[in-house]
Amino acid sequence: MMDKSVIDTNVAISANGQNTHASFACQLACIEILQACKNLHIAIDKTGLIMEEYKRHLSHAGQPGVGDMFFKYLHDNQYATNKICSVKITKLDDDSRGFDELPSNSLDMSDRKFLATAVVAKAILVNATDSDWAEQSELLESLQIEIKQLCPEHCCK
């Protein structure tokens, strides 16, 4: 079976090519992976936190960018295909963890939903421009989560 992927919002934003510091090569890598979204097994959370974040940065209309097309595909097909896996994550009031699925960590609060989803789904995290994932490599290793860096030139500060 194909590995599941959790797609960080920055991948879709970079694919759209607007309001991003992503290089052209990075934007192209993001476009390529998202254009193949129908062939990927994508994991999202049942609580809707990932979709809510996508909604703040992407268009339901599915245009004008490839990131918007990806969001529309996920939105329209989240219950209609076995390629989109929805997993239960449990939000905590504990700021040191954020989610029941995570140990104490210093990861950015907005990234924790992606990591908790990846842990439950046993998925690969896909990143374009967020340096937090490289900085948190020990945490990712301890949770046995692989990170796919689409844009290695942007993954470190």
Please give the average per-residue pLDDT across 48-62, as a whole number: 94
* pLDDT tens readout for residues 74-92: 999 998 888 999 999 999 9
pLDDT (tens digit per residue) in 125-144: 999 999 989 999 999 999 99
Our CA dihedral for 121, 127, 133, 134, rounded to 10 degrees, sits at 130
Q: Mean of the per-residue pLDDT values for the chain?
A: 93
| pLDDT tops 60 at residue 1 | no
pLDDT, position 2 = 59
Reduced to 3 states (helix: H, G, I; strand: E, B; else coil), residue 27 is: helix
Helix (H), strand (E) at residue 119: helix 112-121
Instruction: Give the mean pLDDT of 85-109.
Output: 95
- Position 122, amino acid: K
Q: Where are the domains of the chain?
A: 4-154
HSE of 102, CA atoms in CB hemisphere, 13 A = 29
Give domain 4-154's CATH architecture.
Answer: 3-Layer(aba) Sandwich (3.40)
Tokens for 6, please give them: 């959790």
Q: Report the first-to-last Cα separation within the chain, whole angstroms.
A: 35
Strands (E), the chain: 4-7, 41-45, 84-87, 124-127, 147-149
Residue predicted with more confidence, 68 or 61: 68
pLDDT of the residue at 63 = 84
